[in-house]
Structures are given as structure tokens and as C-alpha cells.
Copies of this chain bind each other. A is one copy, B any other.
Amino acid sequence: MSSPDWSLHPQLAHDTVPLGDLALSRVLAINDANYPWLVLVPRRPDVVEIIELDEPARAELMAEIARVCAALKAHTRCDKLNVAAIGNVVPQLHVHVVARRKDDTAWPRPVWGAAPARAYATTELSAFVAALRRALGLA
């Protein structure tokens, strides 16, 4: 399901640490210790909107969203998952999956623009990435 012509948008590369590749999407962890926050990026060139994916890829994207949601929920025991494809700033199609807690810095607001990103301590980020890699079978 991948394409040789695809590459990760530089802004997404800058803000994240890669976990690995599912059948369709690259999975990234956002370096923001305010919230456990993963992003799925379908490895298809020039795709901006979900409706620009063909039907099998859209179905796979939903399956991968569910897989990432389940892994993040199990790891964090969060109060709510937030799932969103926005892309007003970075056009390359990417789907946010954010684990929210009722005591996090932005609750109940959405996370985008709510608070400046807070970088993880290196060991904290490594532990988060390692745990989610294992949970997603990407280790």
C-alpha cells in the first residue's frame, strides 16, 4: 500500500518521532508532553483529503485509526480519544489521535493551538515510543 514517490512533510518530520509503518500509514509521536499524541500519515503522494484516497485505502485508514486508538487507550487509560484530520497548516493528509485527560492542560478544548508544545524529557519520550511500538507490533 506504500508508494515510492511519497515522503513525509518536513513540518511533520520536525515535530515528531517515527514509530514505524503500518500497511498504509506511517505512525508518528508528537513531541509534546502535554498529551500522549500519535499521528497517522498515509504513505500516498499528494493526498490532502480523506476522499482523495481510494476506497480500499480509506477502509485501511479506518482500521489503522482503530488500531492506534486501542493501543493509545490501553497504554494511557485516558478519559477520551480525539481523532482528527484537519490539515489547514500542513496539507499532507495526516490523522491526529490524541489521548485526553480531564486534568490535561487544554481540557475540554481541542489541543490545537491550546497550549505551547512542551518537549518531553528524552527518557520519557523513548519510553512512550517504545511502549506504543510494542503495542502496535512495530517493535
Asked if A69 is at the interface (CB within 8 A of a chain B CB), the reply is: yes
Whether the Cβ atoms of A51 and B80 lie closer than 8 Å is no
Interface residues on A, range: 20 to 34
Stretch at the interface among A2-10, A23-31, A56-64, A121-129: A56-64
Consensus secondary structure, chain A interface: mixed
Q: Does A65 contact B (CB under 8 A)?
A: yes
Asked if residues B83 and A108 are in contact (CB atoms below 8 Å), the reply is: no
Other-chain contact of A109, B49, B66, B83, B113 (Cβ < 8 Å): B113
Q: How far is the CA of A100 from the CA of B73 in the complex (A)?
A: 30
From B63, B88, B91, B113, A107 is in contact (CB under 8 Å) with B88
B70 touching A66, Cβ below 8 Å:
no
Known contacts A49-B69, A110-B112; decide if A100 and B84 are in contact (CB<8 Å).
no
**Interface of chain A residues 65 through 122 with chain B (CB within 8 A):** 65-66, 69-70, 73, 80-89, 91, 100, 107-110, 112-113
Is A50 an interface position by the 8 A CB rule? yes
The answer for the CA separation of A105 and B101 in the assembled complex, in Å, is 29
